[in-house]
Amino acid sequence: MAARRMMLPDYGTVSMKGTQYYRTRVTDQQGRRVSLYARTREELYQKEQEAIQQIENKTYRRSTPTVEEYCEKW
């Protein structure tokens, strides 16, 4: 019997500089949506699961600070 493939969600696609990427959005602790991009659906699924786990554990940090965070440091 053949092994069953894991069912991946259908993700939207976006084209950046001629390259097509898959994209999804997750909501962080403050209610802001964060976009995640990857070249394959499998990569995006892994990124999404990691981000969701980090958000639940409250360890998720955006790669770029918000204006409010920047002003507080400055």
The C-alpha atoms of residue 16 and residue 2 are separated, in whole angstroms, by 37
Query: Residue 1: which pLDDT band, with cuts at 50, 70 and 90?
Result: low
Per residue in 8-58, pLDDT (tens digit) is 777 777 888 888 889 989 888 888 888 899 998 889 999 998 888 888 887
pLDDT at residue 2 in the model: 57
Question: Residue 2 and residue 30: Cα distance in Å, rounded?
Answer: 44
Report if residue 53 sits inside a domain: yes
The confidence score (pLDDT) of residue 39 equals 92
Our count of domains for the chain comes to: 1
Please report whether residue 42 resides in a domain: yes
Residue 3 confidence class, pLDDT cut points 50, 70, 90: low
- Residue 19: CA count within 13 A, CB half-sphere: 7
Give the range of the structural domain holding residue 46, as residue numbers without chain letter.
Answer: 12-73
